[in-house]
Amino acid sequence: MAAPPLCLSFPDVEAAYGRISPHVHRTPVLTNSHLVSLSSRSNVLFKCEAFQRTGSFKFRGATNAVLCAKEACPELPAVVTHSSGNHAQALALAAGMQGVKAHIVMPDTAPRTKLEAVRDTYKAAVTLVPASERQSAADKKLAEIPGSEFVHPSEDPRVIAGQGTVCMELMEQTEEQLGAGSKLDVVIIPVGGGGLASGNSVALRGKWGRDVKIVLAEPAIVDDAKRSFDAGELVKNGPEKSVGDGLNTQLGPNTFPVIKANVDDIYTVTEDDILRNTRLVWERMKVLIEPSAGVGVAVLLSDAFKAKYPPAQFPNVGVILCGGNVDVVDVAAKMAKLP
């Protein structure tokens, strides 16, 4: 029996790239001699989505979703979502830029910095509920506002296509930095809900085909992507939470098939590894990434990754630094307790 069609294709990502480019930042690609030396690679290109509007890649997907919704319904009254923070900020700003009200349901455990940004900076209406009640609260809000649209943080195909524009830029910037016709051998992408990973796997396969290896990076204590990938079917996380709070979400029925079709490997890393490598980027690159972004750096420098993807055969690596919305005091306190 043939596999069902995936929720998006490369033309969807290309269309999103053209649609959102006037509204999003073309984020920088940086390198660092110390991290390159530690990796033993010839080149490591860090795609710095911490410099994106609202501080993460999420603004890309949110912008594409809002623009698509407005194209379909010019009088769109509101968009609704549930999110722990980064998608909440992104949708609030994207909607506001298009004159659409955003209603955000957030867990009552959301980081303070993200809550304040959503409510105070981007002027969204916020409802705080226990994490288990997020979907029901969002459904209630949708029922209260006729014509409003739900924009899922990772399962909405419009969001996934928008996230794929990270690597559309990275592929162009690779040629700018390494020379015309240059390609990366491996791209490392953090994975939580899977929107970033699935959208960019489609982008990479669509433009570079199987010449590039696509590797996902995940906290070991919330490793549903790794376990689902190995089992060939969706499995769930337990109650544990990672310091990489943006990755505490799970794959879904739209993102998992895309990842299964396109990804080569998924590596997991410990909480201590995440904190150490986040600190390494702070100290050496002077980029204030959040721990969710440190997960990819931890995989890059891990023995397991080096063993399967030896530097001599895979000299050029890209790493997506997915965001920079971090409670510095809280994370620094955790770093101070590292052995």
Residue 86 to residue 115: CA distance in whole angstroms: 10
Q: Which of 39, 47, 56, 58 is an active site residue?
A: 58
DSSP-based three-state secondary structure for 45: strand
Q: Which of 39, 56, 83, 84 is an active site residue?
A: 84
Name the strand (E) or helix (H) holding 205: helix 195-208
Taking the CA of residue 106 as centre, how many other CA atoms within 13 Å lie in the half-sphere pointing to its CB?
A: 29
> Do strands 186-190 and 316-321 pair parallel, antiparallel, or not at all (unpaired)?
parallel
Query: Got the DSSP string for 251-277?
Result: --TTHHHHHHHH--EEEEE-HHHHHHH
Q: Is 84 a catalytic residue?
A: yes
Per-residue pLDDT of the chain (339 residues; tens, 9 = 90+): 566 789 999 999 999 999 999 999 999 999 999 999 999 999 999 999 999 999 999 999 999 999 999 999 999 999 999 987 789 999 999 999 999 999 999 988 877 777 888 999 999 999 999 988 999 999 999 999 999 999 999 999 999 999 999 999 999 999 999 999 999 999 999 999 999 999 999 999 999 999 999 999 999 999 999 999 999 999 999 999 999 999 999 999 999 999 999 999 999 999 999 999 999 999 999 999 999 999 999 999 999 999 999 999 999 999 999 999 888 999 999 999 998
Structure-token pair, residue 156: 């909405």
pTM of the model: 0.96
Q: Is 308 a catalytic residue?
A: no
